[in-house]
């Protein structure tokens, strides 16, 4: 009898605890939905790679968001123009930062010079079309709707006007962050990065104003895969920065419209990844998958100085289609973490046969020639970043004991015809550059004569070199020997 009473009491206690948890969960849902609004404030919107200030410990508010749609011509890569459709004048669109419980009053304005109607679907919205049904707006008009932010996380927004894929492919996507009550933990640096794939009538690198190609988009055959709307949006002077010892948080989205991103920072390990922008946190992650229409928050501490390369690790996209960025870190070295080179040796597993590289003679001639020195420099830089950057680096400094420097290079400046021949026909065997010996392989480059002239002109007029100008005729002369 006593045993039965003990069991009955235990069952009753479990039932009470279960009901209490259920009531607490219901109260939590109600408190988010009915969270009181303290007052009205205008949202701070930022263009990539910048993000607004953290919400911190502020209370829920009526948050006023005003966003303008602009259709405008921009540069996809050097010499390649494209008409972007944008939220706020940038690709991706303006970053929106909110907190749980905010009542967002959203006004979407379609500039009168635009040619098409648009709308917005915010994945953070609980409601028909994520707001798309309430925001369809013609040029010269604006629409206002409101929504409550119920769930914390990092969410994509995009245009959902038919044909939806075309509007997204032209750059109509961005991120909205809903922070939890009390905000995200503080870090030293935060940046906004979003991948997108672009489809043009011309081939990759074909210059001039390029229209959108619907068939390539349907076939998922992207000409460009880029961060923040263009090939060089996060390289060179546009690189993001940090100092040794700082913590970095990247809000990373993928607008698509088609391709999944394998996001990776070469030389870093993500301490934390908020998977798909939600509550699940993975630790010590090398590469994280971000689906089209999805996002992730990645955090890491930078411990050593240097240039760290951001890529989509579907690697041809990075080095051939543009999905490449840079994080430049300054500060003191720590040899305990990374020593640099300790020794150099010789490794010849296949003897001289290792020098035989497969080649093809297919070369696509550029359809729009450079008409001036400035255009040669511009187009040459584009070719350099696509073809030469990985080995010779952004400032022509090369890689010690592997690839010779192009900056202030005695070997390069001594003989322009030899330099042309190296680019056109490749080079193997030992050479001496600025007093240092190198024994690596440069494969034959599949470049048109004009592209060879442009890239060499760019190199000769950069980094303390001689200032020579190389012409298409000079390249043809070497080719015809």
Q: Which residues are annotated as a binding site for Cu cation?
A: 118, 123, 158-159, 167, 172, 313
Write the DSSP symbol of residue 351: G
- Binding site members: 118, 123, 158-159, 167, 172, 313
Answer for the pair 263, 288: CB distance below 8 angstroms, yes or no. Answer: yes
Quick one: angle between helices 449-460 and 472-479, nearest 10?
120
Tokens of 135: 């925001």
Residue 427 to residue 452: CA distance in whole angstroms:
15
Residue 412 to residue 414: CA distance in whole angstroms:
6
Residue 294 exposure: Cα atoms within 13 Å on the Cβ side: 17
Beta-sheet pairing, 240-243 with 270-274: unpaired
| Cβ-count burial 170-190 (b if 16+ within 10 Å, e if not) | bbbbbbbbbbebeebeeeebb
**Residue 209, phi then psi, degrees to nearest 5:** -75, 115
How far out from the chain centre does Cα 386 lie?
16
DSSP, collapsed to helix, strand or coil, labels residue 39 as coil
Which string of DSSP letters, residue by residue, matches 334-400?
-TTT-----------TTGGGGG--------PPPSS---SHHHHHHHHHHHHHHHTHHHH-TTS--BT
| Cis before 163? omega within 30 | yes
365 Cβ contact partners less than 8 Å away, ≥ 6 residues apart: 448, 449, 450
Beta-sheet pairing, 208-209 with 80-87: parallel
Write the DSSP symbol of residue 462: S
Residue 307 to residue 324: CA distance in whole angstroms:
12
CB neighbourhood size of 122 (10 A): 25
Which string of DSSP letters, residue by residue, matches 97-154?
EEETT-EEEEEEEE-TT--S-B--EETT--SGGGGHHHH-B-TT-EEEEEEE--S-EE
DSSP, collapsed to helix, strand or coil, labels residue 342 as coil
């Amino acid at each position: 009898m006593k045993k039965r009473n003990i069991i009955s009491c235990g069952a009753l206690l479990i039932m009470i605890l279960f009901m209490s948890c259920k009531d607490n969960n219901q109260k939590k849902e109600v408190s988010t939905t009915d969270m009181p609004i303290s007052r009205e404030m205008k949202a701070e919107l930022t263009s990539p790679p910048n993000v607004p200030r953290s919400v911190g410990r502020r209370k829920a508010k009526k948050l006023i968001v005003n966003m303008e749609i602009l259709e405008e011509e921009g540069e996809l890569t050097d010499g390649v123009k494209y008409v972007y459709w944008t939220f706020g004048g940038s690709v991706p669109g303006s970053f929106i930062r909110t907190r749980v419980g905010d009542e967002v009053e959203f006004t979407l304005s379609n500039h009168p010079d635009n040619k098409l109607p648009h709308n917005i679907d915010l994945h953070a919205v609980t409601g028909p079309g994520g707001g798309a049904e309430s925001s369809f707006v013609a040029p010269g008009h604006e629409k206002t709707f409101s929504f409550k932010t119920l769930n914390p996380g990092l969410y994509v927004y995009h245009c959902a006007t038919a044909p939806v894929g075309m509007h997204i492919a032209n750059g109509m996507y961005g991120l909205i962050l809903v922070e939890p009550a009390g905000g995200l933990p503080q870090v030293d640096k935060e940046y906004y990065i979003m991948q997108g794939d672009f489809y043009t009538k011309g081939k990759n690198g074909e210059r001039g104003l390029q229209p959108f190609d619907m068939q390539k988009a349907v076939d998922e055959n992207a000409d460009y895969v880029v961060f923040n709307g263009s090939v060089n949006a996060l390289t060179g002077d546009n690189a993001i920065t940090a100092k040794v010892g700082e913590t970095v948080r990247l809000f990373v989205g993928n607008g698509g419209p088609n391709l999944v991103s394998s996001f990776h920072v070469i030389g870093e390990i993500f301490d934390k990844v908020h998977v798909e922008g939600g509550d699940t946190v993975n630790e010590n992650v090398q590469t994280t998958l971000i689906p089209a229409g999805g996002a992730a928050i990645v955090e890491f501490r930078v411990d050593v100085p240097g240039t760290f390369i951001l890529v989509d690790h579907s690697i041809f996209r990075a080095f051939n289609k543009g999905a490449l960025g840079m994080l430049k870190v300054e500060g003191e070295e720590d040899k305990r973490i990374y020593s640099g080179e300790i020794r150099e040796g010789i490794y010849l597993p296949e003897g001289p046969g290792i020098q035989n590289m497969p080649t093809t003679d297919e070369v696509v001639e550029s359809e729009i020639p450079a008409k001036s020195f400035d255009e040669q420099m511009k187009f040459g830089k584009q070719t350099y970043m696509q073809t030469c950057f990985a080995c010779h680096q952004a400032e022509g400094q090369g890689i010690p004991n592997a690839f010779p420097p192009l900056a202030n290079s005695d070997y390069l400046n001594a003989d322009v015809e030899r330099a042309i021949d190296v680019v056109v026909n490749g080079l193997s065997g030992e050479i001496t550059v600025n007093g240092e010996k190198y024994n690596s392989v440069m494969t034959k480059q599949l470049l048109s004569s004009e592209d060879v002239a442009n890239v060499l002109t760019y190199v000769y007029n950069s980094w303390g070199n001689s200032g020579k100008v190389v012409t298409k005729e000079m390249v043809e002369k070497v080719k015809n020997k």
